[in-house]
């Protein structure tokens, strides 16, 4: 299954805000650079650019049983710079099942999103793995001592 393409502008202000947010205690972004390179994980903000027609999985029905398991970012020439317009398109790479211990069967879904420029050259690729458990795991027994 493949979602519809979506546009994502790598905006200067958002790149600066994201850099400041994720670099707690690190170097401050260079505010004189009008086209700074985005942080490698900046593409997580694509969630704000997508609409339901761009998605390949609807987790809303199982939100209480959905886990974010992994995220991978690949950049052929480095993360995109501010001022770049990306065209993103997601597809399901694989779906596998595994028997869990406490939550029953687990379904692992890998979604790959390929980001190109407007001419179709690949600029980035993300791989996101989610897990949906069959049922919420039972909480472990708790002991309260006074």
SS3 of 48-108:
HCCCHHHCCCCCHHHHHHEEEEEEEEECCCCCCECCCEEEEEEEEEEEEEEECCCCCEEEE
**Per the structure, how many domains does the chain have?**
1
- What are the Cα distances from residue 14, in Å, to 18, 38, 43, 62, 85? 6, 9, 11, 31, 13
Which domain CATH number covers 56? 3.10.129.10
62 pLDDT more than 70: yes
pLDDT in tens, 118-142: 999 999 999 999 999 988 766 767 7
Q: Is the pLDDT of residue 91 over 60?
A: yes
Return the closest-CA partner of residue 65 out of 130, 138, 129, 135.
135
Judge whether residue 87 has pLDDT over 60.
Answer: yes
Domain assignment of residue 1, yes or no: no
Which pLDDT tens digit goes with each residue over 40-60?
899 999 988 888 778 888 766
**Phi/psi of residue 6, nearest 5 degrees:** -135, 155
Q: Is the pLDDT of residue 21 over 90?
A: no
Q: Which residues contact 31 (CB under 8 A, 6 or more apart)?
A: 16
Domain assignment present for 116: yes
Q: Which domain holds residue 12?
A: 6-133
Question: Higher-confidence residue: 30 or 16?
Answer: 16
Task: Return the higher-pLDDT residue of 31 and 38.
Answer: 38
């Amino acid at each position: 299954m493949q979602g519809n393409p979506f546009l994502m502008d790598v905006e200067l202000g958002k790149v600066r805000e994201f850099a400041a947010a994720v670099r707690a205690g690190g170097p401050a972004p260079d505010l004189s650079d009008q086209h700074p390179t985005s942080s490698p994980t900046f593409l997580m903000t694509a969630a704000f650019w997508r609409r339901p027609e761009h998605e390949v999985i609807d987790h809303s029905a199982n939100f209480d049983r959905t886990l974010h398991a992994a995220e991978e970012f690949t950049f052929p020439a480095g993360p995109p710079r501010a001022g770049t317009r990306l065209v993103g398109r997601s597809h399901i790479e694989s779906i596998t099942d595994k028997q869990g211990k406490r939550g029953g069967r687990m379904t692992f879904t890998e979604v790959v999103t390929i980001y190109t420029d407007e001419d179709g050259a690949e600029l980035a690729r993300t791989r996101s793995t989610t897990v949906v458990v069959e049922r919420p795991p039972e909480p472990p027994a708790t002991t309260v001592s006074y």
